[in-house]
């Protein structure tokens, strides 16, 4: 059964999804200050402008610190929860897991506002650290979703076999479990990193005076003069995201193939 | 007293191991999510003093919120925009999910899903801004139409609800496609053959077998698009030009520039309650599709 | 095969073992003894507790009450990694990220021997299971039968006192399964280790075991050697589970001199020895059971060596080497199944044929 109409629709839909991303490099290399057609000519000067910008440099540094810390912490918390969720049953499991996964559906503004109120109430100064607290919260559900696949495709008797052959709980985890879920862990680190790097609302509320990449971009979008440079920056970010995602996808698939499971789909 | 062996008996149970493992993550969620949400709820019943919050019970914030015409208008607009976005997103997404699930070879499915999810992971702010470029006064669409000679003067396509809807439909596309795809994948293909074997046409088989079985995914897609879009801040700000604020923009204004945290909290809680009621209502309406599903 | 094992010392003792999962009573007072060096099978339908019982030996399941002893030692406080048992898992549990060698040598990590000695032990173990030269292969590149052998080598290299096998052949196809059955028996004789096998396949249990415990609903229904189980099952349930058994309603008339007098439908009045009534029934309504091969259809000119009755052929199922006849004995509604070896030159009979059937009182078993 072939439906040529449906296939055409799918291709048009993909074009719709990718249209903004295709435009990005076009304007990043366009030698004109106004983001509109017709194009003016080729230039790489917008990329050059990026490197001389001190605020941008600070934003990049902050975002890297935030994204790396959030990725590591969220993945660590994700390992605990995914292991507990895929291996043990205990009363109230649904409720506890529900709370942990809640940020997946909760509007980010609610997370941001409520954290802001509490952190200020505790007398904390808004900084890179407070953004990390928020980002760990929203990255953890994604980490769990990825790690759940890794942990539940792990045959339980592999760990039992290691214990049966004389290993302790911990050496079994180190020798068997960890190597087998490692692709999932790498995939989770990369995805969490990407989410954190891109997150705007929580950073907007919780960063205080510290710029992060998205808040910096947001602040510059008001100034038409800055926009070509932002296009160049965006091009770099999109490239980085695609590279990270491709690596993450590679490890996710390898993990499934390794533990002999069946590939059932994407990240979510 | 043999407390040692009793302790060992308790710590050996499955439930104990589960609690012990999940506790770091659960604790974090309680401290950083449940407690802050509870605080917002509490704040919404407090009085606002100058620069401080007065811990005194009052319903005034809710009275102020709901008697404020601007709030009601903004909430209404948010609901309409979110509803519209949800409708558009899910309607556009269903054929894609259907295509990938039923018409793409098994080996290529995950490649398609990867292709669909990539745009979602790239900078949200820049994607939204680019829609401004596409739809702008001398943007891509207008200059193309002008160039071909279909129109003489550019369309005003920004700063209106459809522009916000298109941008958000784009942003939340994978959220709608994936749950529908998952529920379509679960359908036993033999059921469809059985449907046709029992004399139904392809169209009727789709309506009587495929669609009802895909409904859990559609319901999930609706919720997962509707709830977060209500709280979207960036799109109304950039695409709506700040002239069409939604609830998130109002909460932000109360929380930061105006610094009236109790009122901001009351607005946030009110919006959440409305969203929750609509979501529960929606799930309830579709309960016959969800029965027996997990 | 079974004679010498009777006087061997006990290797595993179950003493009134109970296991609860919440309210579910999975093991209901198991008391049994497995002898050193025997090939022992736990046989039963899925959910009967056989795997749970095996896992209490390995130490993967704790028990709620009672005791498990291995080689005279109480196992309550001995964790799984310190028990003198090794297991071959149903899924084989071959570590997919390690090579065949690394899998087989996995348990030697804490062994004080030199690396060279360990490598030699691994090579020997691989040779023993017929995988010589496979050491460097990646584990995930192996076939089902090869994984099975790696799992065996990995467990046996540690020279355990007991080897536990959890449905080890269920994932293999029929041919491969039969081949592995023979290899396992040979291997067990060669190493002399106590094997405990869990299976739901009665044929597999009969072929391989010295003794079999048949389990239903968390209890051992009968523990005996294969022949006793087949010839004298102690309940209709065990009889039904192992092979095919025909049942005919019967009335007990009386008991005298170790003989029970019975009036059986379709067979008439017959005397059955009391040891052919393992369920210990001696009065009232009962049923007699017999295996399909204990009846013989008589052809023209043949005479019965013991007794004969008559009936009509109701159904014929041809199996190549065998033919199964469903015969409606005169005076009985439900047909009985009779299996006949096909002999060259002797025709397969048609449905509806009147036929005489020979039988012998010694083959009958009396059930409640």
Distance from C-alpha of A205 to C-alpha of C153, rounded to nearest angstrom: 61
Burial class (CB in 10 A: 0-12, 13-18, 19+), A91: exposed
The pLDDT assigned to C1 comes to 43
Q: Is A87 an interface residue toward C (CB < 8 Å)? A: no
Q: What is the pLDDT of residue C268?
A: 86
The predicted pLDDT at position A37 comes to 67
Residue A264, number of CB atoms within 10 A of its CB: 14
Residues C96 and C217 in one domain: yes
In whole angstroms, what is the distance from residue A237 CA to residue B123 CA?
A: 7
CA torsion angle A219 A222 A224 A226 (round to 10)? -10
Structure tokens at A151: 């942990």
CA-based nearest residue to A14, from C166, B174, C270 = B174
pLDDT band at B260 (very low <50, low <70, confident <90, very high): confident
C188 and C103 in one domain? yes
Best C55, C79, C97, C162 member to test A by mutation, with max A CBs in 10 Å, is C97
- Cα separation, C132 vs C154, in Å, equals 14
- What is the overall mean pLDDT for chain B? 83
Share of chain A above pLDDT 90, in %: 34
Q: Give C7's pLDDT tier (boundaries 50, 70, 90).
A: low
Model confidence pLDDT, tens digit, residues B7-18: 666 666 778 888
Contacts of residue C49, defined as CB under 8 A and 6 or more positions apart, other chains included, come to: C19, C26, C27, C28, C30, C215, C217, C218, C219
- Contact call for residues C205 and C45 (beta carbons, < 8 A): no
User: Residue B56 pLDDT > 80, yes or no?
Assistant: no
Same domain, C257 and C215: no
- Say yes or no: C58 and C201 in one domain: yes
In-domain check, residue C5: no
**Across the beta sheet with C259-264, what order do the strands follow?**
C268-273, C259-264, C246-256, C285-290, C365-367
Backbone angles phi, psi at A140, to 5 degrees: -55, -45
> Which tokens is A172 given?
């079994």
C95 or B12: whose pLDDT is higher? C95
Judged against a pLDDT cut of 70, whether residue A146 lies above it is answered with yes
Q: What is the pLDDT of residue C212?
A: 96
Q: Which of A37, A203, A208 to mutate to test the interface with B (most CBs of B within 10 A)?
A: A37
C89 CA: distance to closest CA in chain A (Å): 7
What band does C2 get if pLDDT is binned at 50, 70 and 90?
A: very low
Number of domains observed in the structure of chain C: 2
Report CA C357 to chain centroid distance, whole Å.
Answer: 31
Domain A41-259, classified CATH 3.90.1150.200, yes or no:
no
pLDDT mean over B111-139: 83
Does C281 share its domain with C329?
yes
CA C154 to chain centre: 25
Distance, CA of B49 to CA of B54 (rounded, Å) = 6
- Per residue in C141-177, pLDDT (tens digit) is 888 889 999 999 999 999 999 999 999 988 888 888 8
User: Whose structure tokens read 């079974």?
Assistant: C2
Which chains form contacts with chain B, at 3 or more CB pairs under 8 Å?
Answer: A
Average pLDDT in the C66-79 region?
A: 92
Our count of domains for chain B comes to 1
Going by C-alpha positions, the residue among C65, C24, C23 that lies closest to residue C48 is C24
Sign of CA dihedral C53, C55, C61, C66: positive
Range of the domain at C223: 10-237
Q: Which two tokens stand for residue B100?
A: 């990938």
Q: Which of B136-145, B262-271, C105-114, C340-349 has the lowest mean pLDDT?
A: B136-145
Residue C1 within any structural domain of the chain: no
B282, two tokens: 């929606």
CA distance to partner chain A, nearest, from residue B168 (Å) = 11
> What are the chain A neighbours of C56 within 8 Å (beta carbons)?
none
**Mean pLDDT for all residues in chain C:** 89
We report the CATH number of the domain holding residue C260 as: 2.40.50.140
Per-residue pLDDT at C326 exceeds 90: yes
The ipTM (two decimal places) reads 0.83
- Number of helices (H) and strands (E) in chain C: give both, helices first: 8, 20
Cβ–Cβ of A117/B252 closer than 8 Å? no
pLDDT of res. C59: 92
Residues C205, C344, single domain; the answer is no
pLDDT in tens, A45-61: 888 888 888 889 999 99
Asked if residue C294 and residue C190 are part of one domain, the reply reads no
Q: Does residue C278 register a pLDDT over 80? A: no
pLDDT digits 0-9 by tens, B150-187 = 777 777 777 788 888 888 888 888 888 988 998 888 88
pTM comes to 0.81
Q: CA A85, B20, A95: angle at the middle one, nearest 5?
A: 50
Residue B204 confidence class, pLDDT cut points 50, 70, 90: confident
C233 and C278 share a domain?
no
Helix axes A128-152, A54-87, angle to 10 degrees: 40
Least confident of B1-10, C24-33, C250-259: B1-10
In the block, tokens 């010839």 appear at: C231
Do C85 and C208 fall into the same domain?
Answer: yes
Judge whether residue B274 has pLDDT over 60. yes
B201 inside 8 A of chain A by CB: no
Phi, psi of C13 (to 5 degrees): -120, 125
Shared-domain flag, residues C221 and C285: no
Question: How many angstroms separate the CA atoms of A23 and A26, rounded?
Answer: 5
A155 near C CB under 8 A = yes
Peptide bond into A219 cis (omega under 30): no
Residue among A76, A60, A13, A68 at smallest CA distance from A212: A60
Element (H, E) at C306: none
Does residue C299 share a domain with residue C161?
Answer: no
Nearest to C45 by CA among C212, C198, C155: C198
Query: Greater confidence, A261 or C39?
Result: C39
Q: Which of A207-211, A236-240, A263-267, C76-80 has the lowest mean pLDDT?
A: A263-267
The answer to whether residues A191 and A248 touch, using CB atoms and an 8 Å cutoff, is yes
* Closest Cα in chain B to A6: B99
Residue B76 structure tokens = 């209404």
- Bridge partners (DSSP) of residue C34 are C12
pLDDT confidence bin for A187, thresholds 50/70/90:
confident
Query: B243 lies in which domain range?
Result: 63-293
User: In whole angstroms, how large is the CA radius of gyration of chain B?
Assistant: 25
Same domain, residue pair C161 and C79: yes
All residues of chain B having their beta carbon less than 8 Å from the beta carbon of residue A156 are none
Residue A256: the pLDDT is 64
Q: Determine how β-strand C194-199 pairs with β-strand C162-166.
A: parallel
Q: Which of C193, C215, C237 is the last residue of a domain?
A: C237
Distance from CA of A62 to the nearest CA of B (A): 16
Nearest to C154 among A160, A165, A259 (CB): A165
Instruction: Please give, rounded to a whole number of angstroms, the shortest distance from the CA of B203 to a CA of chain A.
Output: 13
Cα distance between residue B253 and residue B263, in whole Å: 11
Query: Where do we find the tokens 């999109």?
Result: A238
Partner residue opposite B110 with nearest CB, options A2, A231, A263: A263
Q: What is the pLDDT of residue A138?
A: 94
Comparing CA positions, the residue from B142, B148, B216, B206 lying closest to residue B186 is B216
pLDDT of residue A258: 60
- Smallest CA–CA distance, residue A96 to chain B, in Å, is 7
pLDDT grade for C324, boundaries at 50, 70 and 90: very high
The 10s digit of each residue's pLDDT in B87-105 is: 999 999 999 999 988 888 8
B12 touches chain A (CB under 8 A): no
Mean pLDDT of C124-131: 91
Decide which of B106 and A102 is more confident. A102
Whether B31 has a pLDDT exceeding 80, the answer reads yes
The residue among C207, C237, C267 that closes a domain is C237
Residues in chain C: 368
For the segment B218-250, what is each residue's pLDDT rounded down to a tens digit?
998 898 889 888 888 888 888 877 777 888 888
> Which residues lie below 8 Å from residue C26, measured CB to CB, with a gap of 6+?
C19, C20, C49, C52, C218
C3 is a domain residue: no
Q: How far apart are CA A83 and CA A185, in angstroms?
A: 12
* Among A20, A144, A206, the residue to mutate for chain B (most B Cβ within 10 A): A20
Show Cβ contacts of residue B81 under 8 Å, excluding neighbours closer than 6 positions: B161, B164, B165, B168, B229, B236, B246
CATH number at residue C206: 3.40.50.300
Give the residue from A154, A118, A165 showing the smallest Cα distance to A255: A154
Closest CA of chain C from A91, distance in Å: 13
Residues 6+ apart with CB under 8 A from B43: A117, B53, B261, B262, B265
Q: Cβ of A162 and C80 within 8 Å? A: no
Mutation target among A88, A89, A162, A166 for the C interface, most CBs of C within 10 A: A166
Contacts 24+ apart (CB under 8 A), B50-57: B51/B259, B53/B261, B53/B262
Q: Which residue of C has its CA nearest to A159?
A: C93
Whether the per-residue pLDDT at C334 is higher than 50: the answer is yes
B226 touches chain A (CB under 8 A): no
Q: Does any domain span residue C291?
A: yes
CATH of the domain at B212: 1.10.3720.10
Residue B185 lies in a domain: yes
Mean pLDDT of C18-47: 93
- Whole-number mean pLDDT of chain A? 86
**% of chain C residues with pLDDT over 70:** 97
Would B2 be classed as within a structural domain? no
8 Å CB contact between C193 and C163: yes
**Diameter of chain B by CA atoms?**
93
Residue C2 lies in a domain: no
Residue C330 in this model has a pLDDT that exceeds 80 = yes
Domain regions of chain A by residue span: 41-259
Q: Of A16-30, B51-65, B160-174, where does mean pLDDT reach its minimum?
A: B51-65
């Amino acid at each position: 059964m072939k439906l040529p109409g449906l296939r055409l629709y799918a291709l048009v839909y993909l074009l719709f999804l990718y249209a903004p991303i295709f435009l990005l490099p076009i304007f990043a290399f366009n030698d004109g200050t106004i983001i509109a057609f017709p194009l003016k000519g080729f230039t790489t000067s917008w990329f050059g402008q990026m490197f001389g910008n001190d605020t941008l440099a600070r934003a990049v540094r902050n975002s890297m610190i935030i994204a790396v810390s959030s990725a590591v912490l969220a993945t660590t918390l994700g390992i605990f929860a995914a292991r507990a969720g895929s291996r043990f049953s205990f009363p109230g499991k649904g409720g506890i897991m529900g709370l942990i996964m809640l940020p997946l559906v909760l509007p980010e503004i609610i997370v941001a506002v409520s954290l802001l109120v509490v952190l200020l109430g505790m007398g904390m100064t808004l900084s890179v650290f407070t953004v990390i607290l928020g980002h760990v919260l929203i990255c953890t559900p994604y980490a769990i979703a990825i790690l759940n696949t890794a942990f539940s495709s792990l045959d339980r008797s592999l760990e039992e076999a290691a214990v049966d052959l004389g290993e302790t709980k911990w050496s079994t985890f180190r020798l068997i479990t960890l190597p087998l879920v490692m692709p999932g862990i790498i995939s989770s680190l990369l995805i969490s990193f990407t989410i954190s790097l891109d997150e705007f609302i929580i950073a907007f509320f919780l960063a205080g005076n510290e710029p992060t990449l998205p808040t910096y971009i947001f602040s510059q979008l008001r100034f038409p003069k800055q926009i070509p440079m932002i296009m160049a920056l965006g091009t770099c970010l999109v490239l980085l995201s695609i590279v990270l995602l491709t690596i993450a996808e590679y490890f996710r698939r390898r993990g499934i193939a390794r533990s002999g499971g069946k590939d059932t789909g994407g990240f979510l | 007293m043999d407390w040692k062996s009793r302790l060992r008996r308790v710590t050996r149970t499955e439930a104990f191991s589960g609690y012990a493992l999940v506790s770091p993550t659960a604790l974090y969620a309680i401290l950083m999510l449940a407690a802050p949400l509870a605080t917002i709820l509490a704040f919404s019943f407090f009085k606002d003093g100058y620069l401080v919050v007065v811990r005194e019970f009052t319903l005034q914030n809710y009275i102020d919120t709901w008697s404020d015409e601007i709030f009601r208008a903004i909430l209404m607009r948010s609901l309409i925009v979110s509803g519209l976005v949800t409708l558009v997103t899910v309607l556009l997404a269903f054929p894609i999910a259907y295509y990938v699930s039923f018409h793409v070879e098994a080996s290529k499915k995950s490649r398609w899903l990867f292709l669909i999810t990539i745009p979602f992971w790239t900078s949200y702010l820049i994607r939204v801004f680019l829609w401004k470029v596409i739809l702008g006064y001398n943007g891509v669409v207008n200059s193309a139409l002008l160039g071909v000679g279909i129109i003489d003067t550019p369309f005003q396509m920004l700063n209106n609800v459809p522009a916000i809807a298109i941008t958000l439909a784009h942003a939340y596309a994978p959220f709608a496609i994936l749950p529908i795809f998952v529920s379509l994948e679960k359908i036993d293909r033999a059921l469809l053959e059985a449907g046709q074997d029992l004399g139904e046409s392809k169209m009727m088989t789709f309506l009587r077998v495929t669609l009802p079985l895909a409904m859990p995914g559609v319901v999930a897609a609706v919720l997962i698009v509707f709830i977060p879009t209500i709280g979207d801040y960036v799109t109304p700000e950039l695409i709506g030009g700040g002239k069409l604020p939604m609830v998130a923009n109002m909460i932000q204004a109360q929380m930061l520039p105006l610094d009236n945290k109790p009122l901001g909290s009351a607005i946030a809680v009110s919006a959440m309650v409305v969203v929750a009621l609509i979501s529960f209502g929606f799930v309830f309406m579709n309960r016959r599709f969800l029965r027996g599903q997990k | 095969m079974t004679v010498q094992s009777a006087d061997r010392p006990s290797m595993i003792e179950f003493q009134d073992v109970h296991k609860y999962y919440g309210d579910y009573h999975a093991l209901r007072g198991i008391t049994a003894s497995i002898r050193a060096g025997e090939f022992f099978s736990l046989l039963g339908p899925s959910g009967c507790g056989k795997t749970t019982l095996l896992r209490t030996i390995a130490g993967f399941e704790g028990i709620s009450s009672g005791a498990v002893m291995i080689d005279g030692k109480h196992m309550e406080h001995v964790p799984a990694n310190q028990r003198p048992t090794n297991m071959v898992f149903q899924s084989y549990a071959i570590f997919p990220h390690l090579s065949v060698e690394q899998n087989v040598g996995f348990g030697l990590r804490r062994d004080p021997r030199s690396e060279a000695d360990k490598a030699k032990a691994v090579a020997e173990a691989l040779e023993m299971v017929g995988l010589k030269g496979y050491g460097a292969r990646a584990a995930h590149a192996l076939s089902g039968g090869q994984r099975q052998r790696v799992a065996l080598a990995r467990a046996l290299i540690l020279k355990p006192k007991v080897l536990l096998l959890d449905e080890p052949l269920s994932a293999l196809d029929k041919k491969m399964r039969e081949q592995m059955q023979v290899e396992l028996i040979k291997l067990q004789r060669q190493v002399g280790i106590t094997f405990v096998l869990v299976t739901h396949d009665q044929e597999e249990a009969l072929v391989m075991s010295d003794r079999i415990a048949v389990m239903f609903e968390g209890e051992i229904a009968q523990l005996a050697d294969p022949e006793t189980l087949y010839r004298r099952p102690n309940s209709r349930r065990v009889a039904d589970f192992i092979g095919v058994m025909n049942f005919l309603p019967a009335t007990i008339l009386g008991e005298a001199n170790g003989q029970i007098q019975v009036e059986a439908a379709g067979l008439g009045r017959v005397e059955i020895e009391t040891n052919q009534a393992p369920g210990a029934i001696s009065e009232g309504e009962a049923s007699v059971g017999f295996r399909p091969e204990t009846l013989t259809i008589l052809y023209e000119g043949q005479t019965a060596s013991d007794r004969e009755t008559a009936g009509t052929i109701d159904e014929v199922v041809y199996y190549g080497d065998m033919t199964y006849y469903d015969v409606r004995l005169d005076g009985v509604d439900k047909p009985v199944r009779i299996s006949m070896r096909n002999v060259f030159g002797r025709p397969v009979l048609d449905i509806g044929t009147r036929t005489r059937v020979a039988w012998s009182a010694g083959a009958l078993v009396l059930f409640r």
